[in-house]
Every structure is written in C-alpha cells, then in structure tokens.
C-alpha cells in the first residue's frame, strides 16, 4: 500500500511541521492494514520550497524513519509501475 501525501508551500508556515509526522502516520497505516498483510510505504511529494537547506534535518528525519520523499512527482518505478522505454527519436 503506497500512502502518498502532497505538500506544497511557498512561504513559511505549518505545512513544514507536518512533514515530521510521517513516522506516526506510517505506523498507524501499518496497524490498519496489518490483518491484510500489506506492506505499507509512506511518501511525500514535495514542492521545490522544501529543497531549502533549512529543511535538511526534516528531510533526513523522513528518510531515517523509513519514509521517503520526492520533489514534484514520484518516478513510476518507485511505485512498482512499468516505465515506458525512452524513444531516442523523440
């Protein structure tokens, strides 16, 4: 089960603090899906705002608790979906 949250921000505010809740949310989803024997992955799609150096500790924390993040989109292969071949003529 892929749990995906999209976080967009253009100025400082409460969204950045919500990124620090991924560990709790992932554990709750694991508990919810435990009887179905589903593997749970929790990931964020972040806007470019979160590339700032001041978010480095938060990004490191996300990874350290077994969650992940991507900027603007998630590559298909990260979701286990097929990736179309690149056509060199395009």
pLDDT digit string, tens, across residues 16-60: 788 999 999 999 999 999 999 889 999 999 999 999 999 999 999
Percent residues over pLDDT 70 in the chain = 99
Residue 40 confidence (pLDDT) = 94
Note whether residue 33 is domain-resident.
Answer: yes
Instruction: State the pLDDT confidence band at 90, using cuts at 50, 70 and 90.
Output: low
Distance (Å) of CA 80 to CA 3, 55, 69, 70: 13, 28, 16, 15
Q: What's the number of domains the chain is made of?
A: 1
Note whether residue 80 is domain-resident.
Answer: no
Instruction: State the pLDDT confidence band at 81, using cuts at 50, 70 and 90.
Output: confident
Note whether residue 88 is domain-resident.
Answer: no
Note whether residue 89 is domain-resident.
Answer: no
User: What SS3 class is residue 60?
Assistant: helix
- List the domain range (segments joined by +) for residue 36: 2-75
Q: Are 62 and 21 in contact (CB under 8 A)?
A: no
């Amino acid at each position: 089960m892929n749990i995906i949250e999209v976080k967009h921000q253009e100025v400082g505010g409460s969204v950045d603090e919500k990124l620090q809740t991924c560990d709790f949310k992932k554990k709750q989803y694991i508990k919810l899906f435990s009887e179905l024997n589903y593997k749970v992955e929790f990931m964020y799609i972040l806007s470019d705002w979160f590339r700032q150096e001041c978010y480095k500790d938060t990004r490191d924390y996300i990874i350290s608790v077994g969650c992940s993040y991507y900027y603007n989109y998630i590559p298909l292969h990260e979701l286990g979906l097929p990736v179309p071949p690149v056509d060199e003529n395009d």
